[in-house]
Chain A
Amino acid sequence: MSRARDSRSAAVPAPRRSRSHDRATGSGAPRGGAPGAGTGGAGEAGAGTGGTGEAGAGTGGRPTPHHAYPDAPRPPALAATAAIALGSAAGLLVLLGQLSGSARVFPGEVVLALVLAAATFAFGFWLFRRIRPVRTPDRFPCAVAALWGLTAATGAAVIANSALRSAWSSVLGLDLATAWGAALTAPFNEELLKLAGVVLVATAFPRALRGPADGFVLGALAGLGFEVTENLLYAVSAIVQSGATAGALSVVQSAVLRVGVTGPGSHWAMTAVAGTALGLLAPVAWRPPPGRAAAATGLVLLAMAMHWLLDAPVFGNTVPVILAKVLVIFTAAMLVYLAARRDHRRRVRAALAAGGAAEGLPRSAALALASRGGRYRELRRSAPGDHAPVRERQRRLLDDAEEAAAISRGAAPS
């Protein structure tokens, strides 16, 4: 509690100056961790500071003195960055090997497929960043998560899936393997491959994954990348499967089916659910208590089950059945999203109320900052010359509120 009292008594700008100084000089605070928490573990930070966790619950304490910023990336972050770069390069090579022959012979069709893929990606990238509660996430980690899905995960899936499906053909026979091969292969391989990318992004950019809502968004983006590349591969495959007599039509039909029919319940939804699991683990420094570990495991298994449902030849392969499956998957993803969103907003609003009180802001004004509309309205009300300082104050309050929310999440029981 004494720490919380110290925080409250500190003038609001003071921690900012101190933090800026720390960042500028690369000195002062321990790297990436709370004072006294040598490994920087969230569990330790939350448990060690106590009051910081309470700050999110509205005790009025601000987390500012307790969070510091690393002056340089840690070795695991560097290693994760290298792994992402290598994995993406390797995946890209595999995909180029898959597509180069078709691109040579069907250049117009492949360009059309690329344009449709790019449009899908652009819309998805905007949408999935936009749905993060409170504010849009940092663009770069989001792009890296999507890049992993676009290249590394798909390239690895090409290798792993073909080998496992071939093995299933040997074990089950061709007919059974053709019918069930996707359901017995993709949910396991692809969900793990996509999720591995989210783990690496969370390690390389720890601030990008501070809770379930962040996990949902990063997972959705990794899944989006995977889905877009898979759509491209399927579109090119559709040219061949239709006899290569009307390639553009085959590409468009494939895109309509995979974006318009199965798209709402495809890879983005599955990996978003699995990514939410990582959002439960990262705030406790990947050392979850049993309850939280069970919840995370359940979410990953749910993602695999969603994938299995879409791929399994159960109930037939008619359009109504596929639409029903997509609806189930979409609903499951939305339920997970709403729970993550609610948790994030609740914690941030509590922290905003506390932070606003420390600055003398009315509670309603502080809480309004939790929404984009609220921030916009405050900006509109302010004099034109005040926009920059108002915006800066909003950013500062939100930074600290989300920091407090992350710390409270790490300190909270499972």
Chain B
Amino acid sequence: MAPGTDAQRPHAPPHAGGSWWPPGLAVGAVAVLVTAWPLLDRVLPGTEPVRSGHALAVGSSEDVEAELTFRRDGWALRTGTSTAERVYHFSRGPAELTLSTVTPTTAVPPTAPELWRGLDRTLRAGDGSTRLGPPDPTRAEDGTRGLTGTLTSDTESGTAVLYPSPDGRFAVSMTLTGRDATRADLADVDDVLTSITFTREDA
């Protein structure tokens, strides 16, 4: 190596352009991309209605599939912020339901309390004021055991539930909140928190 010869002269070569159009085009392209797509997204409908009785596949492993069934009309899926089988955002009036599916990567599946603590940390990463209360046992309609507890933050309160899949390979959490929702509003729709079923593929 001859490092001393590697340094190049700074500044411009003979073709050093005084042309404005390349940087103008570059800046224009960036500006268009960060403004045009958000504007387009704003004019498109960001939600789609969820039919009563509709079962939505919300997570799966090799052996188990989870479905959430909506018993009531009026729920809407926010498609823009949802990702299939990972995170869903629903709303019904002032109530907001967020469903997340997590897939632990450890060889030994984490316990439900460990997953609950993980959910607490995950929620705090999104909103630093969010706190989960101590968990209580709960059961889904199909008998799957889970945990439930209160959720509070500076701006809203509600309920969180968490169901590890029977094979331990994934878990589904749901939070039912609403910035403008009263306890009665949330109580009206909290049956959705238990309307999840885990089905073994070979069943």
Contacts and interface: CB of A to CB of B under 8 A. Distances in A.
Interface residues of B, number: 65
Contacts of A73: 11
Given A136-B6, A163-B38, A40 B46 contact: no
A241 B103 contact: yes
A143 interface: no
A77 B15 CA distance: 13
Contacts of B48: 173-174
A39 B16 CA distance: 9
Contacts of B81: 166
A250 B86 CA distance: 16
Contact of B22 (A135, A173, A178, A199): A199
Interface string A164-183: 11110111011101110000
A240 B102 contact: yes
A199 B21 CA distance: 10
Given A42-B15, A45-B14, A167-B40, A250 B34 contact: no
Nearest to A242: B105
Counting chain A residues whose Cβ lies within 8 A of the other chain, the interface size class is 35 or more
A70 to B, nearest CB: 5
B165 to A, nearest CB: 11
Contacts of A140: 10
Contact of A246 (B21, B29, B79, B106): B106
A170 B15 contact: no
A206 interface: yes
Contacts of A403: 13-14
A283 B15 contact: yes
B121 A105 contact: yes
B33 A160 contact: yes
A77 B20 CA distance: 9
B37 A67 contact: no
B184 interface: no
Contacts of B5: 135, 369, 375, 391, 394-395, 398
Nearest to A199: B26
A189 B38 CA distance: 13
A213 to B, nearest CB: 13
Interface in B1-36: 1-2, 4-23, 25-27, 29-30, 33-34
B99 to A, nearest CB: 13
Nearest to B86: A241
Contacts of B26: 80, 83, 195-197, 199-200, 203
Contacts of A69: 9, 11-12
A203 B11 CA distance: 10
B16 A207 contact: yes
A285 B104 contact: no
Interface stretch (B60-68, B110-118, B146-154, B188-196): B110-118
Contacts of A399: 8-9
Contacts of A375: 1-2, 5
A192 B122 CA distance: 33
Contacts, number: 273
Interface stretch (B123-131, B133-141, B175-183): B123-131
Contacts of A378: 2
Nearest to B2: A375
B8 A41 contact: no
A124 interface: no
A192 B29 contact: yes
A6 interface: no
A410 B13 CA distance: 11
B83 interface: yes
A173 B114 CA distance: 34
B80 A166 contact: yes
B41 A167 contact: yes
Contacts of B17: 32, 39-41, 74, 76, 203, 206, 282, 285-286
A164 B41 contact: yes
A136 B7 CA distance: 7
Given A156-B34, A159-B34, A39 B19 contact: yes
B203 interface: no
Contacts of B77: 174
B20 A76 contact: yes
A207 B10 contact: yes
Contacts of B14: 32-34, 37, 40, 42, 45, 63, 66-68, 403, 406-407, 410
B95 interface: no
12 contacts: A42-B14, A75-B18, A136-B6, A164-B40, A167-B44, A192-B33, A193-B29, A240-B125, A243-B171, A246-B106, A285-B15, A375-B2
The 10 A-B residue pairs with the shortest CB-CB distance in the complex, in nearest-first order? A42-B15, A166-B80, A244-B118, A32-B16, A206-B16, A243-B102, A163-B37, A178-B84, A375-B2, A169-B79
Given A32-B16, A70-B11, 19 more contacts: A67-B13, A74-B16, A75-B18, A80-B23, A101-B127, A135-B8, A138-B10, A140-B10, A166-B80, A170-B44, A189-B37, A192-B30, A192-B33, A196-B27, A242-B105, A244-B118, A245-B104, A376-B2, A406-B15
